[in-house]
Structure 1
C-alpha cells in the first residue's frame, strides 16, 4: 500500500489540529507563525475538553463538536480581550514602559526587571516569519521521511504490547460516540467503574476515522505522521521563537535539528507503543514557552499577560488530558522559571527598584506554586504496580548517556551534542534572561539519571513513579530542550565567526585585492533581510545540518530497527502475515452484531480494531466478567460444562479466532486461556477462513 493512502485522514487531521486552535489564538490577537505555532496545543485542548463535556451535555462525539467548542472559547477570549483593551491596559503598559525607560539607565533596567521589554508586534506575515516557515518545512519533510521509514507501510501495526489497546480504543470511541477520558477505560474495566485515561490521541484519531472511513491502522499511522512531522516541529519553533532570539542561521537550524534526535519522536514509535505520550510531549514545548512569556523570562516579549493566562490555561488542560505525566513533566521543567523570577524580584527589591511588600507577595505566590507541584507529585501518578521498571545503569553511565544523546545505551549523537554544548556555553556566557533553560536542562538530567540508576531503597518510586519508573518516557523529553540549545549553538557559532579578528583580517585583505563581493562577515552579521550571499550561506549551512543530522549512524540504525518492530514476519511479536490475512477477512464472514472470542496476547484482540466486530478482550490487561472468564477457561469443554453456551449467548459470541500460542513479550498464558487452546481440533467449531496455521472458526457447539 502506498503512503498516499493516508492523504484523506492526514488532511482531516490537519484541519482538526489547526483550525480550532487558530480560532482561539486569533480571538486573543495572536497572528502569523505565533498563532500557527500555538494552534496545535490549543486544538488538542479543544478536542480533549470537548470530548469530556459532550457526553455530559448529552451530545454524541462527532467532528463538529470540537469546532463548536472552540468557537465558544474563542468568543469568550474575544470578549475578555475587548474588555482588557477597553480598560486601556495596553496604553497604560506602554506609558509605564516609556516612563521606566526615561528614569533608569539600561543596566539598572535589566537588573531590576527584564520583563519590561517592549511587546513584539504580531503580524500574519513578515520576512522574519518566512525563515521560521522555511525551517518548519525542512523539519516537516525530514520528519515525514523518517517517520514513514520507521513505520514501513501505512497499514502496518506496531508489534508492541500497547498496540491492542490504542487501536481498539480508537474504534471504541467511534462506536460508542463517547471520547471522554472518563469513559474510554470502560473498554477494559469489565463491570467496574472506569478510571481516568488520557484519550486526546484517541479522540483525534476517531475524528479522522469518522470523517474518512479508512482503516484504523491507516488512520493510526496518518496521525503518527501528523504528530511527528507537523505538530512536533511547529511546537518546537514556537518554543524557540518565544524563549530565544535567534539569528537567521539559528532559526533555519531548528528544522533539521527537530529530525536529528533518536529520543523524539522515533523512540516512542518503537517502545510501548506510547501514542498518548507522543502527542502530549509534542505540544509540551508550547507550554514551556507560554510560561516563560508569562514570567517575562524570554529574550523577546511576544505575548501579553492576557494571552499567556487565558491560552496557557487551556494548553495546560490539553497537555494534562493528552497525558498526565507530560503535565507533571512540564511542571518540574518550569521550576527553574519560577525560581529565576523570584531571584530577579529579590534583586530588584535589594536595589530599591521595587516595593518589598510587592516582592514578598510575589515570592509567597511562587512558594505556593512550588508547594502545589510537590503536592501534585504525590497524587498525579499511576499505581506503583503499573510500573516496576528496574534501574539498569550506573550513575556515571546515565550521565554520559544524557549529555551525549546516547539515551538508553544507544550510541552517542556527537554532531548534535557539539551544537548543544555550544548553545549551553552561549547561555552561560551571555547570561541573558533565558538562562533558566540550563536549570530545566539540569532538572531533566537528574530525572533521567534517577530513572536509570536509582534503587527502590533510595526513593525510586517517589522520584520517577510519575513515569511508571520508566526511563524511556523521560528520555523522550530530551530533544525539546536540546534542539533549541543546538539552534542557539548555531547562532553563537555564526556570530563568533563574524566577529573573529582573523576573519576581519581576511576580509580586509580580500577587499584590498579589489573584490566588490559581499564579505562573509557582513553576511553573517546581516539582519533577517535576505541577500544572495546570505541565501547561499544559509543553504550551505542548512545542508550541512541536514547531512550531519540525518547521516548519523545511531539515527539511521534506530529508524531501521523501528521498521522491524512494525514489519510482519513469521516470528513477529504480535501479528504474522497469516494473522494479518485473517484479520483482513473477518468482516467478510462475521455478520455485524456477532462477537468474536479471542486470546488477546496473540494479537487476536485487534479483530475489533480491524474488522469492527466485538471481542471478549480488547487488551491483554482487562477486568474479567464471569462470562468472559467462563469462555476463556472452558470454551472447548462445552460438552462437559453446561455454563459455556449461556456465557457465549450473553456475549453474542458465535465465532472464535485461533492465532496459536505465540504471544507478545514471549509470554505464556496457555493456562489462563485454556479453553481456547486447540480449538481447530475440537468438535463444535467449523473452519470459516484459514491462512497458514491460523484461522477463523464458527462456533457450532451451541446450535
Structure 2
C-alpha cells in the first residue's frame, strides 16, 4: 500500500490532465448541469491532448505540457469569445445537479480505485499480456523521441518516417511519467484515473442528457457499471487494450456532446460552442482508438436519421429534397468509411449459438462472463420506460449494439460478420463493450424506477414489503460479485502477476533491467525474444532493443538473428554488424503469448552461442555481450 500512496502525486497529475485543460470550456457552456459540465470538460481535455500531440511536431516542439498549454489557451480563447458573443442571448435553463450525483461519482471513484489497486497489486507490476509489451514500450518511445504524434508512431517500423497509430493513451501517460518515476507505474496510475474518473462521469453525463425527465437515473449510472464485467476490467484482462479503453470510455461523452449540439432553441454562439465541443471530444475518441469513434457514430445513426425524418416531415418539398440527398450522401460516405476502416483478421471466429449470444445480451453478461441476475432486469425496466417516453432512437441504438454483438459472437456468415465487426478486428470482447454504452444508462433508469417504487411503498406504510424487496434486490445484485471476483482473480493470477511464475516479465528480469539502466553503454543495442519480456528493456531503461514488440517490420537482418543468433555463424555476424547489435538477453522459455507470427527460436539457449559472453545475471535472467564477431 505504501507504494500506491507514493504514487498519489502521479494520480493527482493524471486527474488534473483529464479535467483542467477542458474545464474552462465546460464552465462556459450554458444550459447544462454541473455533472454534464464535468463530462464535457473531460472530453475536451482529452481532445486537447490529442490535438496537441499532432500540433507539437508541426511547431517543432518536444512533447510535454507546453504544447498542451498552448492548444488549451487557444481553445479557451475561442470558447470565451463565443460565450461573450452570446451574452445577450436568452438564457438557456440548466438542469440542477443534486449532491447525490456527486456522492455516486465519488463512491464509484473510490470503488474502482480499490478494485484496481487490489487487482493490479503494486504500481510497479506490469501488464503481462501480449499488447502490454507494445504499449509500455510505446510510452517510452514517446518520451525518448519527444514526439507523441499518431502520425509518427514508428517504433515497430525502423527507418520509416510516418506511420499512423492512435497515441492518445501514450501521450497522456508520458505526461504523467516524470511524476510516476517509470513507465509501468505511470501506466497503472493512468489506468486508475481513466477507469475511476472518466467512466463513471461519462455514464452520469450521457444518462443526464438523454433522460432529463429522470435526473435520479444519473445517480445510479456510475454505480450500475460495477455489474458490467466486460468493460472496463475486461479490457485489462484481454489484450491489454489501453487505447480501446480510453476511446470506449469517451463514447458516452461524445454521444452526450452531439445531443447537446443539436438541442433545440440554442442561440448560434452557444450552438457553435457546443459543436466545437463535440468535435473536440470526437478527436479524443478517434485518437483514443478509431474503432471507438466509429462505434460512437454507428450508435448515433438512429438519432441522426430520426432528426432527418423529423426535418423532412415538417419541411416543404425543397427541404425533403435536401434532407434526402444529405442522407444518401452521408450513407455512402459512412459505408465507405466503415469499409475502409475494416481491419478484419479472421483470427477470432464466432463461438456461440444464437441462443447463447441472445441470452448474454438479455442479461448484459457477454463474452462468457458469469451471469448476474439484476442488471438485465433493470435494463428491461429502462427499456419499458424509454418506450413510454417515446425515446425510440435510444432503443434502436441499443438494438444496434446488440446486433453487432450477435454478429460477432454467433453470425456464421463470415464475410458479413467481418463487414459488421471488422473494425474491431472481429474481436467479440471489444464489440461487447458497446452494450454498456446504452445498457448501463437504461439500467440506471430502471433502478431509478425501482427506487421510486420503494419510496412509494415506504410512504404508503407498506414497509415490510419494501424491506423484502430491498433484500431481494440486494441478493440479485450480489450475483454480480462472482464476475467481479473472476476478473480480480485473473488480474492477480495472470494479467498482473509479478513473481517467478509470471507468464511475461519476472522480478529477476526486472532487477536485471534496473542494473542495466546504468550498466549498459548509451549506444548499446540489445536483442532478445520479446515474448519473454526481454523487449521491455526499452520501457524500463530507455536502452534500444531490436524487437520492442512481437510484430513489426524490422528487416531481413533482424529476422535472421531471430531465427539463428544462437548458431553464431558468419551470416549471423554480418547481421549483427549491419544492425549494430552489442548485447543479447536470454530470459528463458516462458512466453507471454504462444508465438504464431514470427519465430524467435534463435534467441534462446544463448549460453550455447560461441559469439556471446555472459556479462551479468540475476537468477536465470542473463545478459550477454557480442564478443565473437571481430
TM-score (norm 2): 0.91
CA distance in 1, matches of 2:472, 2:222: 11
Q: Distance in 2 between matches of 1:187 and 1:585?
A: 24
1:17 deviates by: 1.0
Determine the structure 2 residue equivalent to 1:413.
372
2:60 aligned to 58, 61, 64, which one? 58
SS at 2:622's partner residue? strand
CA contact (8 A) 1:23 1:70 kept: no
Alignment of 1:385-424 (within 5 A): 385=345, 388-424=347-383
Counterpart pick for 2:207 among 230, 240, 243? 240
* Alpha-carbon distance between aligned partners in 2 of 1:477 and 1:155, rounded to the nearest angstrom: 31
Q: For this pair of structures, how many residues does the alignment match?
A: 625
Cα 1:157–1:456 shift into 2, 3 Å: farther
Unaligned runs of 5+ in 1: 95-118, 511-518, 525-536
Sort the Cα spacing of 1:491 and 1:668 in 2 relative to 1 into closer, same or farther, 3 A: closer
Tell me, yes or no, if structure 1 residue 290 matches structure 2 residue 262: no
Q: CA deviation at 1:398?
A: 0.9
Query: Is it true that 1:683 corresponds to 2:606 in the alignment?
Result: no
Query: How far off is 1:631 after superposition?
Result: 3.4
Map of 1:174 onto structure 2: 143
Q: Distance in 2 between matches of 1:545 and 1:331?
A: 36
Q: 2:99 maps to which residue?
A: 130
Q: Is the 8 A contact 2:557 2:576 kept in 1?
A: yes
Instruction: Confirm or deny that 1:629 pairs with 2:559.
Output: yes
Q: Secondary structure of 2:613's match? A: strand
Shift of residue 259, structure 1, vs aligned partner: 2.3
| Cα distance between partner residues in 1 of 2:198 and 2:450 | 28
Deviation for aligned residue 1:582: 2.7
Q: Answer whether contact 1:139 1:254 (CA < 8 A) is retained.
A: no
Q: How far apart are the structure 1 equivalents of 2:325 and 2:108?
A: 42
* Alignment CA distance shift 1:28-1:150 (3 Å): same
- Residue of structure 1 equivalent to 2:392: 435
User: In the alignment, which residue of structure 2 is the partner of 1:515?
Assistant: none
State the alpha-carbon separation in 2 of the partners of residues 72 and 245 from structure 1: 32
1:134-187 CA distance string (max 9 Å, x none): 111011111111222222221111121111100000000010010000001x10
In the aligned structure 2, how far is the partner of 1:687 from the partner of 1:637?
16
Alignment partner of 1:665 is 2:593: yes
Aligned to 2:78: 76
Correspondence for 1:373 among 334, 338, 353: 334
Aligned mates of 1:297, 1:138 — CA distance in 2 = 34
Among 153, 157, 181, the alignment partner of 2:122 is 153
Contact 1:602 1:664 in 2 (8 A): yes
CA contact (8 A) 1:634 1:641 kept: no
User: Hey, what does 1:17 align to over in structure 2?
Assistant: 18
- Residue of structure 1 equivalent to 2:300: 334
In structure 2, the residue matched to 1:313 is 279
Report whether the alignment pairs 1:187 with 2:155.
yes
Change (3 A) 1:84 1:360: farther
Return the alpha-carbon distance in structure 2 between the equivalents of residues 56 and 236 of structure 1.
Answer: 35
1:641 and 2:600 equivalent? Answer: no
CA distance in 1, matches of 2:476, 2:372: 13
Distance 1:498 1:677 in 2: 67
Counterpart of 1:361 in structure 2 is 322
CA gap of 1:321–1:551, structure 2 versus 1, over 3 A, is closer
For residues 599 and 323 of structure 2, the distance between their equivalents in structure 1, rounded to whole angstroms, comes to 59
CA distance in 2, matches of 1:132, 1:465: 37
Deviates more, 1:406-415 or 1:616-625: 406-415
Worse-superposed segment, 17-26 or 213-222: 17-26
Whether 1:568 and 2:541 are equivalent positions in the alignment is: no
**CA-CA distance at 1:593 after TM superposition:** 2.7
- The answer to which of 67-76 and 628-637 deviates more is 628-637
Which residue of the partner structure matches residue 654 of structure 1?
Answer: 582
Instruction: Provide the C-alpha distance between the structure 2 equivalents of 1:378 and 1:415, rounded to a whole number of angstroms.
Output: 37
CA shift digits 1:613-636 (9 cap, x unpaired)? 110011000102244234334434
- Partner of 1:277 in structure 2? 244
* Equivalent in the alignment of 1:206: 174
Deviation for aligned residue 1:364:
4.2
Paired with 1:216 and 1:652, the residues of 2 have a C-alpha distance of 26
Spell out, residue by residue over 1:240-289, the C-alpha distance to the aligned partner (whole angstroms, 9 max, x if none): 11111365653332232122210211010000000000000111101111
CA shift in 2, pair 1:372/1:304, >3 Å: farther
Query: 2: distance between equivalents of 1:214 and 1:489?
Result: 44
- Once the two structures are TM-superposed, the CA of residue 304 in structure 1 deviates from its matched residue by 4.5
- Secondary structure in structure 2 of the residue aligned to 1:698: strand
Alignment of 1:457-496 (within 5 A): 457-496=414-453
Instruction: Give structure 2 stretches of 5+ with no counterpart.
Output: none
Q: Distance in 2 between matches of 1:566 and 1:605?
A: 17
Highest CA radius of gyration, 1 or 2?
Answer: 1
Q: Shift in Å at residue 200 of structure 1?
A: 0.2
Which 10-residue stretch deviates more, 135-144 or 478-487?
A: 478-487
**Cα distance change, pair 611–177 in 1 and its aligned pair in 2 (3 A):** same
**Where does residue 134 of structure 2 map in the other structure?**
165
Distance in structure 2 (CA, Å) of the matches to 1:275 and 1:191: 26
What SS class does the counterpart of residue 61 from structure 1 fall into?
coil
1:692 aligns with 2:619: yes
Report the TM-score when normalising by structure 1.
0.82
CA contact (8 A) 1:256 1:549 kept: no
- Checking the alignment, whether the CA contact within 8 Å between 1:263 and 1:477 is kept in structure 2 is no
Correspondent of 1:231 among 168, 182, 198: 198
